Structure 1
Amino acid sequence: MTKSQLSKEDLRRYIKNFWLVVIGGIAFVSLLILSIALGLFGKMPSFRDLENPKSNIASEVISGDGKTIGTYYLENRSFVKYNELSPNIVNALIATEDERFYEHSGIDFSRTFTIVFYNLIGKRQGASTITQQLAKKLFGRQKTNIFITKMKEWVTAVKLERNYTKQEILAMYLNTVDFGSNAYGIKTASRTFFNTTPDKLTVEQAALLIGILKGPSYYSPVRYPERALSRRNTVLQQMYKDEVLDSKNLEIAKAKPIKLDYNPESHNEGLGAYFREYLRGELTKLLDNGTIKSKADGTPYDLYRDGLKIYSTIDSRMQEYAEQAEREHLPYLQSQFNQHWKGMRRDPLSDLSPGTLEQAMRRTDRYRELKDLGKSDDEINKEFKTPVKMTIFSWKGEIDTTMSPLDSIKYYKRFLRSAMMAMDPHTGYVKAWVGGDDFKYFKYDQVAQGARQVGSTFKPFVYTAAIDNGFSPCMKVPNEPVVFEDFDNYSPKNADGKTGGMYTLREGLAQSKNLITMYLMKQLGPKIVAKYAHDMGITANIDPYPSIGLGVADVTLYEMVGAYSTFANKGIWTKPIYLLRVEDKNGNIIYENKPEIKQAISAQTAYVMCYMLQGTTTLPGGTGLRLRGSKYKFDMPIAAKTGTTQNQSDGWFMGVTPDLVGGVWTGCEDRSVRFHSLNLGGGANMALPVWALFMKRVYADPTLKISKGNFEKPADLTIELDCSVYVGDSTDVDHDEHEPPPSDSKDKDRLGF
């Protein structure tokens, strides 16, 4: 056999062996891929999993004007569809992560082999396509052989490409990625960094967000703006290279500085934090008791994982105005409070009852944690007196300091608290809800949780009962003491202690004369007055004693605003509504709220009460006259009532307009921490300014369309409102027999103004 013959045989053998290896390798890989697809190397996502990929999707709270005002989440993630994405974000993603995205079917083999070469020569490159990255994010990377893991990703990527369009894959990818700053997904990132939506992202904004994906911490535009700028410009250059950005717009975009509108989201911060927390509790109850429908498989929805759409009545503009009003007034009022006590040369906490600080200490998380560790009371007291580093609240921002936990309790008790709620009286929709000063530091919600004495804001219920039972607003009543013989001779005084003169009922209400109110209480009886308050939505316990007319009952701001809305809604009480409906992530309604309404008083009585309450802001001596003064300059019809409780512990203001009713409460956590001056501690100084500042902003916003017109007059009005032509006298009214006074005769000590 010759050399040439031997070479030909060897060549044939080599070629045969080569193809055997190639075909065998292909067969092996194919068999391996088939085995992986069948789940022999671990569970693979099923077709159902691919149709419904699991992800922790945040549930969104959506305002009445269509804004997302907060989320409930494990991962702060909200989903969008492809048609809700700006072309800029799509172009930036493809140019940076996967230039051949539209050309491959999940795996870009040419790119894979190229990247292998780059890695061999020491240039590390990522070879995963967008679809492969999505597969990894959706279904996780298991801790197995890296080769098997990669094969699983390939199989999943191909399945994704078969089950979804390219546009759907892009949207899914952008919905799953982490942008840092607790922002998962493009919708949350757009809102967090630019306070916008994904469809409105500019070229430079889109490039910045895609740039962040390379390293959310390393390229954070908040912490490392120079790195983020450099990375953004790299993405812009890639977009130019991919021919989705021309040279002119490239230079324009690169020349722009990073301009953030940074709004990091957390449960403690953001718009309507108190409202969102209260709503979260209510939603949890609805989910737990089955009121909200379950999923198709019978399992309940998860508020933190299932991407529910929660539609509220809150108006984001009014909510912002309400929070701004509180932030503007409270620091000024706190300054008055501090100067007031400084002038008295006393500590505001000097009137605290014994044991108050110890009780406050026992309510803290720190105390409970120490108790759980088995610490004795002496050890706990020592801990609370030991200074530690902490961050505390101030009206000028957070302060890092060193303070003992006990001193921090004392520090916070000196702060004035305030709450506000506003609602549409016709629909019952709550438009603004501010539960306190700062949710991060003051968790207690004073709108719906904090019931306090309401003072003179209760008096309109007395007058409502009187008007509804035949009394005239023009009837004159002597401003003289009234004695309740059946109630241990209870006989309260006016706030200023003065007596004498005759006042019409309208004047008595406008000037908040206690003795005029007590005259009506004597005529009507406490039971009738309590019934009218309950008919108008007050659910709090109201003991049938004369002092209820002066506001000794503890009532929430939520119920007071709802009750006052009856006046502006022709006598119809509508329970305040803050939740409209809940939808699943696909838009299916799983809960819908139903309004609760009833005719509480006649339309005529309601209109007359609006007329009488306008006297508070128009008649001489009216307690709300400052609304007409040089500071606020309101000239539209406003029905209102101020309220101040015993010892100036609570200041209230209730404002009623035809389209919007609002209420404000202001005071300290402990009722003994207070102003010692009625001028400073009255509702007109403590609470009225918040309502005024809020309404100034509301009226100045034409998009809200809040009327400055008058209250609608009933066509069948028979009560004479022109006191110059009124002829009449006191009207005797039948009323229930009084109950005997309480045995301990403490009624005298519960006086409110």
Structure 2
Amino acid sequence: MRMRDGLFKMLGLCLLAGVLVAGILFPVVGAAGVMSNEASDTVESMSSDLADDPPPLVTTVTDREGSPIATLYDQYRIPTAPDQISEAMKWALISVEDRRFYEHHGVDWKGTLRAAISNTSGGDTQGASTLTQQYVKNYLINVTYRDDQLGQQRAQEATIARKLKEARVAIQLETKMSKEEILAGYLNVVEFSRQIYGVGAAAHAYFGTTPDKLTVTQGALLAGMVNNPVANDPWNNPERATERRNFVLDKMVENRKLSEEDAERLKAEPLGVVPNGPEKPAANCVGAGPEHGFFCQYVEDYLLEQGMTKDDLYTGGYTIRTTLDREANHLAKQSAEEQVGKMEENVANTLSLVRPGKDRHEVVALAANRDYGPDAEAGQTEYALPSDVANVTGAGSSYKVFTAAAAMATGKVGIYDTIQSPSSYVSQVFSGSPAPCPYIAPYTRGYCVTNASEGGSGSMTLQTALQTSPNTAFVILEEQAGMKAVVDMASKLGLRKTMASNAANGGAVDPEAESQEVSQSQTQFFGPSANSPGKGSFTLGVSPTSGLELANVAATIMSGGVWCPPTPIGEITDRDGNPMPIKEQPCEQAVPEGLANTLAVGMSKDDLPGGTAAAAAQGVGWDRPMIGKTGTTQVNGSAAFLGATPQLAGAAMVFRPDLPNGGLYDGGPGNVSAVPGESGNMFGGKTPARTWFGAMSKILEGEPALPLPASDPRYERFD
């Protein structure tokens, strides 16, 4: 039986040899139906694929100065040229895998016949694949079909058809590439386990060195791994790895590249790999560390939104120079942690900073009290706390900025006009209250609202209302401007993703419902619909909000009403160093410049005595012109502060990322209320404002105190 099987194998190999010769001498596409059109195409395109479809490389993310902060990859690979690989590494590989490498032309006929005879006679089975053939197979597995399991299986099938295809490609490669190029090509694509591919990455990860400095024993260990990287892993299986390394040393002796005496001496040496596993960077934004991880995550999210695929991002070998200011980010995180410790249970305190401008809004910093990372017990999280909408609660009365802007834009009120601000108010226009208003009028239905401790009473100018934040005044302005104008204004000024995920799609949670379960099933609109004018609570900022977009609102106002996407991208270059542009949304004049400038003047008193952020400003000795607005949600469950100077805009938010269930205290700092559902004492003028002023006062130290733009008379008074 064994002899019969061997004869069949011999016949198959003879057929293989005959077809290969025919394929070399004549333009034959296939033989006896063995070679398909696909195989022929692969033969013709393999060489060009090496350039057009190069191996996956590591993408490097840097700060604005070009210093790396993170690496993104599926395969950790460091490209290595032929002259950057030590002779010891080359000869170790050749000796164990293909000792006649420099003699054959892609297929080792002598080795093939030897393997056939050995297999036929019942000896050890031998594959006889040359390094060129192995290069073809590894290229198909690790590059062409790296995300295609079926393709990978086909590339490894023990069939004559597959061998024929592989051998013919190998022969053609030998006519187009030098031996040194083939050897280096193989050593650049082959796997060494643990997401490590190629000798450049292996030299660094296994030995902390470069491939040109690999020693005989190091080269022998790596050469011995390639036929079974997992089984020969030196950390998991040191005994087997040692046995395999020593086998390679023996093969080097047989190939006359090492003396027997030196081989015996080298066999006694330890493996010499770095302790505790390979030295390689993290494969994702965790590698950016606890301080810069949130920024890295936003870079990834942003590029995916702009059309780049995750596969391209993680394999393209790009260098992404971001707009991250390391010092500003450090100071932002420091300020956030000073207000709320990173180990405070279910409390996030974030600060997002954006640079205003009429041609770009560059993101400068994205920080949080929580560290970025996978270890929740160490206070880490991989939620994009400073930039995403998910896992974030409302921004409170900071939304009153949109109501004020909408009322000014529709000609209902000027910034210096007097508006009503009663201590309580029942709107007959908006829905919202689940029951009558017993604390206002026992038998009156409608949307009931009273002023919080931040607000005032009676009447006041719109500028003073923005400073003191009475709830009733802005619900009345909502009625006058119309909810559609207010909701549209929020989107125009910067809450684009926020509005798309909340008010615009009807998926927002109703914060006034009696239970979370009821509100989720209702999925009511905050904005107007066919059957409702909208929910009056919109101006009180009850829906989830992106802190970064809130910062960009301040940047839009400070940029004369010009909205630009909050971009984290400075420049992207491809693996060859060529610039790679991305299609970002263009900037647009979201609101008239006069309106934006007048709104800025209206927001310029929040840091002054009587303003809701005055205490926080005084605490750092703030003396710069600025705009600002605080916000607090019901039961003091979250709070925010948005503000800007002409040089820098930002928003700080404190909230409970694992769903709200009670208020926050300001005295822990940031402790969660002890009783679920109980109100706390948190306000936007406390933790968020102190976070903002604490960071901005240091970041802007030494910068000139620039004036705010002048107001436009067209938006000052309409009375």
**Does structure 2 conserve the Cα–Cα contact (< 8 Å) formed by 1:616 and 1:641?**
yes
Aligned 1:701-716 pairs, distance under 5 A: 709=703, 713=707
Q: Does 1:144 align with 2:159?
A: yes
Which segments of 5 or more consecutive residues in structure 1 lack a partner in the other structure? 1-25, 244-249, 287-291, 293-300, 338-414, 700-705, 721-729, 735-753
CA distance in 1, matches of 2:450, 2:339: 33
Which amino acid is the alignment partner of residue 169 of structure 1?
I
**Does structure 2 conserve the Cα–Cα contact (< 8 Å) formed by 1:107 and 1:154?**
yes
Which amino acid is the alignment partner of residue 733 of structure 1?
F
1:135 aligns with 136
1:46 aligns with 43
TM-score by length of 1: 0.56
1:733 aligns with 718
Q: Structure 1 residues 223 and 27 mapped into 2: Cα distance closer, same or farther (>3 Å)? A: closer
Q: CA RMSD in A?
A: 6.5
Q: State the SS of the aligned residue for 2:157.
A: coil
Question: 1:490-534 CA distances to partner (integer Å, 9 max, x unpaired)?
Answer: 663332277569987666545545466568668867665445334
Q: Structure 1 residues 96 and 565 mapped into 2: Cα distance closer, same or farther (>3 Å)? A: farther
Q: Does 1:458 align with 2:399?
A: yes
CA distance in 1, matches of 2:610, 2:16: 94
1:564 aligns with 554
**Does structure 2 conserve the Cα–Cα contact (< 8 Å) formed by 1:193 and 1:264?**
no
Q: State the SS of the aligned residue for 1:654.
A: strand
Question: 1:251-272 CA distances to partner (integer Å, 9 max, x unpaired)?
Answer: xx99996596543436998756
Q: Structure 1 residues 186 and 486 mapped into 2: Cα distance closer, same or farther (>3 Å)? A: farther
CA distance in 2, matches of 1:69, 1:155: 41
Which of 573, 576, 583 is the aligned partner of 1:593? 583
CA distance in 2, matches of 1:149, 1:567: 64
Which of 218, 221, 230 is the aligned partner of 1:217? 230
CA distance in 2, matches of 1:230, 1:620: 79
Question: 1:512-563 CA distances to partner (integer Å, 9 max, x unpaired)?
Answer: 4546656866886766544533432445343566543322455444543432
Q: Does 1:183 align with 2:173?
A: no
Give the CA deviation at 1:573: 1.0
Structure 1, 511-520 or 325-334: larger mean CA deviation: 325-334
**Does structure 2 conserve the Cα–Cα contact (< 8 Å) formed by 1:481 and 1:491?**
no
1:34 aligns with 21
Which of 72, 90, 93 is the aligned partner of 1:94? 90
Aligned 1:363-442 pairs, distance under 5 A: 415-416=346-347, 422-426=353-357, 427-430=360-363
Which of 710, 715, 718 is the aligned partner of 1:717? 710
1:265 aligns with 283
Q: Structure 1 residues 282 and 710 mapped into 2: Cα distance closer, same or farther (>3 Å)? A: same
2:440 aligns with none
Give the CA deviation at 1:163: 1.6
Q: Does 1:493 align with 2:508?
A: no
Which amino acid is the alignment partner of residue 160 of structure 1?
L
Give the CA deviation at 1:143: 0.7
**Does structure 1 conserve the Cα–Cα contact (< 8 Å) formed by 2:204 and 2:210?**
no
Q: State the SS of the aligned residue for 2:588.
A: strand
Give the CA deviation at 1:644: 2.0
Identity among equivalent pairs (%): 20
2:176 aligns with 163
Which amino acid is the alignment partner of residue 75 of structure 2?
R
CA distance in 1, matches of 2:559, 2:402: 15
Which amino acid is the alignment partner of residue 670 of structure 1?
L
Q: State the SS of the aligned residue for 2:656.
A: strand
Which of 654, 665, 670 is the aligned partner of 2:642? 654
**Does structure 2 conserve the Cα–Cα contact (< 8 Å) formed by 1:577 and 1:595?**
no
Give the CA deviation at 1:93: 3.6
Give the CA deviation at 1:174: 3.5
CA distance in 2, matches of 1:104, 1:323: 63
CA distance in 1, matches of 2:596, 2:467: 16
**Does structure 2 conserve the Cα–Cα contact (< 8 Å) formed by 1:449 and 1:556?**
yes
CA distance in 1, matches of 2:102, 2:652: 62
Give the CA deviation at 1:137: 1.6
**Does structure 2 conserve the Cα–Cα contact (< 8 Å) formed by 1:69 and 1:316?**
no
**Does structure 2 conserve the Cα–Cα contact (< 8 Å) formed by 1:615 and 1:622?**
no
CA distance in 1, matches of 2:169, 2:412: 79
Tell me how many residue pairs correspond in the alignment.
583
Which amino acid is the alignment partner of residue 77 of structure 1?
Q
Q: Does 1:671 align with 2:686?
A: no
CA distance in 2, matches of 1:201, 1:418: 48
Q: Structure 1 residues 551 and 324 mapped into 2: Cα distance closer, same or farther (>3 Å)? A: closer
**Does structure 2 conserve the Cα–Cα contact (< 8 Å) formed by 1:653 and 1:683?**
yes
Q: State the SS of the aligned residue for 2:659.
A: coil
2:522 aligns with none
Which of 70, 74, 77 is the aligned partner of 2:75? 77
Q: Structure 1 residues 27 and 672 mapped into 2: Cα distance closer, same or farther (>3 Å)? A: closer
Q: State the SS of the aligned residue for 1:560.
A: helix
Q: State the SS of the aligned residue for 2:451.
A: coil
CA distance in 2, matches of 1:686, 1:231: 61
Aligned 1:459-478 pairs, distance under 5 A: 459-464=400-405
CA distance in 2, matches of 1:224, 1:36: 44
Q: Structure 1 residues 596 and 110 mapped into 2: Cα distance closer, same or farther (>3 Å)? A: closer
CA distance in 1, matches of 2:404, 2:223: 64
Q: Structure 1 residues 30 and 188 mapped into 2: Cα distance closer, same or farther (>3 Å)? A: closer
CA distance in 1, matches of 2:626, 2:240: 55
Give the CA deviation at 1:566: 0.2
Q: Structure 1 residues 595 and 91 mapped into 2: Cα distance closer, same or farther (>3 Å)? A: farther
Which segments of 5 or more consecutive residues in structure 2 lack a partner in the other structure? 1-12, 141-154, 260-265, 430-444, 504-526, 529-533, 665-672
CA distance in 2, matches of 1:517, 1:421: 26
CA distance in 1, matches of 2:706, 2:242: 59
CA distance in 2, matches of 1:305, 1:499: 52
Aligned 1:242-641 pairs, distance under 5 A: 261-265=279-283, 271=293, 275=298, 278=301, 282=305, 303=311, 307-308=315-316, 314-315=322-323, 321=329, 325=333, 329=337, 336=344, 415-416=346-347, 422-426=353-357, 427-430=360-363, 447-450=387-390, 452-464=393-405, 481=423, 483=425, 487=429, 492-496=449-453, 499=456, 509-510=466-467, 512-514=469-471, 529-539=486-496, 540=499, 541=503, 542-543=527-528, 547-553=537-543, 555-557=545-547, 559-577=549-567, 592-603=582-593, 605-607=595-597, 609=599, 615-616=605-606, 619=609, 622-623=612-613, 625-626=615-616, 629=619, 639-641=627-629
Q: Structure 1 residues 88 and 225 mapped into 2: Cα distance closer, same or farther (>3 Å)? A: farther
**Does structure 2 conserve the Cα–Cα contact (< 8 Å) formed by 1:321 and 1:694?**
no
Which amino acid is the alignment partner of residue 177 of structure 1?
V
**Does structure 1 conserve the Cα–Cα contact (< 8 Å) formed by 2:350 and 2:652?**
yes
CA distance in 2, matches of 1:668, 1:302: 26
**Does structure 1 conserve the Cα–Cα contact (< 8 Å) formed by 2:399 and 2:540?**
yes
Which amino acid is the alignment partner of residue 47 of structure 1?
E
Give the CA deviation at 1:52: 1.7
CA distance in 2, matches of 1:91, 1:695: 56
Q: Structure 1 residues 497 and 621 mapped into 2: Cα distance closer, same or farther (>3 Å)? A: closer
Q: State the SS of the aligned residue for 1:46.
A: helix
